Chains A and B, each alone.
Chain A
Amino acid sequence: DVKVTQSSRYLVKRTGEKVFLECVQDMDHENMFWYRQDPGLGLRLIYFSYDVKMKEKGDIPEGYSVSREKKERFSLILESASTNQTSMYLCASRIGGASSEQYFGPGTRLTVT
């Protein structure tokens, strides 16, 4: 079974803090994704990576950056957390292209106070 794990289920941070969200997959997938999930908005793509050290902006990249130094690990970074970044963050991985299944982690619920 594919497994995607996220470092924290719940996280509380203060405004202005630097926040790291970690995601690890164990199936050697080339593609990894970060989404945020908000009620009534579904999932929106923040960034994705198609290979080590490669990244592409998604639909809402502002205020976020990412890092992929190893194939199995994809990190989302909030350089200076703000209250409007309070949300559920989901990581996913996939092998193959647009017709392939994405496998999701359990999510990290981030609260910025």
Chain B
Amino acid sequence: AQSVTQPDIHITVSEGASLELRCNYSYGATPYLFWYVQSPGQGLQLLLKYFSGDTLVQGIKGFEAEFKRSQSSFNLRKPSVHWSDAAEYFCAVGYNAGGTSYGKLTFGQGTILTVHP
């Protein structure tokens, strides 16, 4: 069965510092991988996704993620964090359920990012 693990529940960084959020997945086939962000009181917004091609993907707000098949990882990075990046971040793996085309997502537990001025 597919699963997603985000090992860090809470990360604190200083504004301007670099950021890496970890995501490990378990899935038998080539996964569709997503990072979503949830700002306080908001729904989830897609940051970026990977489903084929270049393993380094660029997203919105200056984020990028690298797919590493050998490590079953899809870590999210940003070179310089802004105070407005404080939010909760979710990694997710997309798959087709039970041989159908009804694609579903399995989410990780989430990582809360706090940014200190």
Which one of B32, B42, B45, B110 lies within 8 Å of A98 (CB-CB)?
Answer: B32
- What residues of B have a CB within 8 angstroms of the CB of A92 in the complex? 44
Given contacts A42-B107, A42-B108, A45-B104, whether A98 and B95 have CB atoms under 8 Å apart is yes
- The answer to whether the Cβ of B103 comes within 8 Å of any Cβ in the partner chain is yes
- What residues of B have a CB within 8 angstroms of the CB of A40 in the complex? 9, 109-110
Contact with A along B73-111 (1 / 0, CB 8 A): 000000000000000001000111100011111011110
13 example contacts (A-B, Cβ-Cβ < 8 A) are as follows A4-B43, A40-B110, A42-B90, A56-B102, A96-B103, A97-B96, A98-B104, A99-B51, A99-B94, A100-B103, A101-B46, A104-B44, A107-B43
Given contacts A98-B32, A101-B49, whether A58 and B104 have CB atoms under 8 Å apart is yes
Chain A residues in the interface with B (C-beta under 8 A): 4, 31, 40-45, 48, 50, 56, 58, 90, 92, 94, 96-102, 104-107
Complex Cα distance A92/B46, Å?
A: 12
Interface size on B, residues (CB 8 A): 28
- The answer to whether the Cβ of B41 comes within 8 Å of any Cβ in the partner chain is yes
- What residues of A have a CB within 8 angstroms of the CB of B94 in the complex? 98-99
Given contacts A42-B107, A42-B110, A98-B96, whether A50 and B43 have CB atoms under 8 Å apart is no
- What residues of B have a CB within 8 angstroms of the CB of A106 in the complex? 41-43
How far, in Å, is A107 (CB) from chain B's closest CB?
A: 6
Complex Cα distance A104/B6, Å?
A: 21
How far, in Å, is B63 (CB) from chain A's closest CB?
A: 15
9 A-B pairs with the lowest CB-CB distances in the bound complex, closest first: A98-B103, A104-B43, A98-B94, A42-B107, A97-B103, A104-B44, A99-B51, A43-B107, A99-B32
